[in-house]
Amino acid sequence: GTGMGFGAGSGRLGGSHKATAPKARSGASGSAWGDEIGESYGAGGLGLSGVGRGGGGAGVTGGTVARPSKPSKRAVAGQARGVKAGEWDDNANYRDFLEYQKNEGQRGAPMDVSHRRFLVVRDVKNQPIPNCQLKVQDKKSHSVILTTQANGRAILFPRASGLQGNLLKVTVSCLGHEQSKQLSVAKQDGALDFKLPLVRALPDNKVLDIAFVLDTTGSMSEEISAMKDTLEEVASTLRGMSITPRIGLVEYRDKGDAYLTRTHQMTTDISGFADRVSTLSANGGGDMPEHVNQGIHVALTKLKWSDHSLGRLAFLIGDAPPQLHYDDDVPYTESVKEAAERGIQLHTIAASGMDDLGQSVWRQIAMFTGGTNLFVLRGGAGPQSTGAGDPKDSCGSRHDNYTSGNLAELISNKVQTSVDSLSWDPMKIAGLGKDEKSKPCSQRVAQQ
């Protein structure tokens, strides 16, 4: 497979620039990533970065990925300049994530994800049914509500959700049908399948809700231009999709700044949204943690999400972890439960400079809601970009086999995947029962 990455044109790079390759994991034969950034484009910026074997491609030629596995379609970057980013799916690598948590110790707020169940709802033609409500109840009458996403699935983490015991009752209510089943959560992982006696009927006009939750504090000032370009590129791509996107934005900063949050309401006016994005600026902040919690909470409660949309996605973008000790706060551990209840999938995007705490929190948020973790690569948003750090693995080093590409394209692919999953078999679940931990560290793949 080949892969190419594009740097953001910042006007500050006059020639070639040395990239920092992700650390090779222990036992690996070397990083799969090329060491040289190719020619500059336009007024500057990072040129095409070849993915090569042990130092591989430079200039505009993509090298060969140093692993035998077949890359996904998303492993090839888009043919335009932009922020270069990686993507990692912790639900597809669930046991590796548990091992990572064990090795790293508890970072961020406690969330017990030691048990997991995929709850699947499909019709008689094995088609996924979105927007089905699932009530999960334990023997002490504690209960949680979940909503299936476009892929017909909801993910239950019973311990983190406060459910007790190993035997639960799950009731699905959907399209006038109700069905209940017993669910054992004694084992670590599994799936519960509901096959309803009906054929789903999807509307001709496929509406998706898409929100961006963006850190606009001063530490983002060096990358805000690249992020604005990314969002504008995503907006442009959405126009060409066979969906009706409702798109909104929440800016967040920290206490003492000119504003704590600023909401740009959901709209189908994509051009108007792009115009609003063009006016964004970064300022304020100061200490490393920011009011991430409030940003997520406002996005969930102030944006006008539609219960009838076939998919609901949010993208959290920032370079700092949340403040964890504000008294008048809704912690992210509660917000992710609300997102799961409403069928909102949270994808996280770590900008340059994100520390280990922030990386851990970003991965928690994405995993709990069925999202993926994206992260700006070193040099990926211009020569000033230090990268957000590669996800640590359980082999004692860093993952170097994640999907990479143009960030705008990776985001757009998340939206397209949500649409495509309406026609996929909902019982084919990446990471169910087995993940990449069973393979040698040098052969793992992040996306399946």
Q: Binning pLDDT at 50, 70 and 90, where does residue 408 land?
A: very high
Give the pLDDT score at 380.
44
Q: How many domains, in total, are found in the chain?
A: 2
Mean local confidence (pLDDT), 330-351: 97
Q: Kindly calculate the radius of gyration of the chain based on its CA atoms and give it in whole angstroms.
A: 21
Please work out, in degrees rounded to the nearest 5, the angle formed at the alpha carbon of residue 221 by the alpha carbons of 211 and 256: 80
Q: Produce one character per residue of 150-186: b if its CB has 16 or more CB atoms within 10 Å, e if not.
A: bbbbbbbbbebbebeeeebebebebeeeeeeeebebe
Q: Binning pLDDT at 50, 70 and 90, where does residue 285 land?
A: low
pLDDT > 90: percent of the chain: 59
Say if 225 falls within a structural domain. Answer: yes
Retrieve residue 48's tokens. 């095409």
Say if 54 falls within a structural domain. Answer: no
Give the pLDDT score at 406.
86
Q: 164: Cβ–Cβ under 8 A, 6 or more apart, which residues? A: 138, 139, 140, 142
Say if 303 falls within a structural domain. Answer: yes
Residue 284 belongs to domain with CATH number: 3.40.50.410
Residue 136 belongs to domain with CATH number: 2.60.40.1120
pLDDT averaged over every residue in the chain: 78
Last residue of a domain, one of 182, 202, 222: 202
Say if 118 falls within a structural domain. Answer: yes
Q: Binning pLDDT at 50, 70 and 90, where does residue 404 land?
A: low
Give the pLDDT score at 383.
41
Give the pLDDT score at 439.
56
Q: From CA 61, how far away is CA 48, in angstroms rounded? A: 8
Last residue of a domain, one of 160, 175, 202: 202
Last residue of a domain, one of 149, 173, 202: 202
Same domain, 220 and 175: no
Contact present, 321 and 345 (Cβ < 8 Å): no
pLDDT > 70: percent of the chain: 72
Residue 400 predicted with pLDDT over 90: no
Give the pLDDT score at 108.
87
Give the pLDDT score at 436.
55
Give the pLDDT score at 81.
56
Give the pLDDT score at 22.
27
* Spatial CA neighbour of 230 closest among 363, 382, 373, 345: 382
Contact present, 431 and 191 (Cβ < 8 Å): no
Same domain, 329 and 408: yes
Higher pLDDT: 24 or 197? It is: 197
Burial degree of 371 (CB within 10 A; 0-12, 13-18, 19+): buried
Same domain, 240 and 363: yes
Say if 68 falls within a structural domain. Answer: no
Give the pLDDT score at 440.
61
Give the pLDDT score at 403.
58
Same domain, 291 and 399: yes
Q: From CA 149, how far away is CA 176, in angstroms rounded? A: 18
Give the pLDDT score at 341.
99
Residues 150-169 pLDDT 10s: 999 999 999 999 999 999 99
What residues make up the domain containing 164?
Answer: 111-202
Same domain, 243 and 307: yes
List beta partners, residue 252: 215, 261
Question: Which DSSP state fits 18?
Answer: B
Same domain, 195 and 220: no
Say if 442 falls within a structural domain. Answer: no
Element (H, E) at 273: helix 270-277
CA 212 to centroid of chain Cα atoms: 12
Higher pLDDT: 352 or 292? It is: 292
Same domain, 329 and 226: yes
Retrieve residue 94's tokens. 């669930």
Same domain, 196 and 208: no
Same domain, 256 and 318: yes
**Which range has the worst mean pLDDT, 129-133, 270-274, 423-427, 442-446?**
442-446
Q: Binning pLDDT at 50, 70 and 90, where does residue 435 land?
A: confident
Retrieve residue 81's tokens. 């300049």
Same domain, 151 and 282: no
Same domain, 185 and 303: no
Say if 223 falls within a structural domain. Answer: yes
Paired sense of beta strands 261-267 and 344-350, if any: unpaired
Residue 348 predicted with pLDDT over 70: yes
Residues 117, 121, 124, 126, CA torsion sign: negative
Give the pLDDT score at 392.
53
Same domain, 187 and 324: no
Number of H helices, E strands in the chain: 7, 17
Say if 11 falls within a structural domain. Answer: no
Residue 312 predicted with pLDDT over 60: yes
Give the pLDDT score at 222.
80
Give the pLDDT score at 17.
28
**Which range has the worst mean pLDDT, 34-48, 63-77, 108-122?**
34-48
Q: From CA 411, how far away is CA 297, in angstroms rounded? A: 21
The structure tokens 């270069």 sit at 84
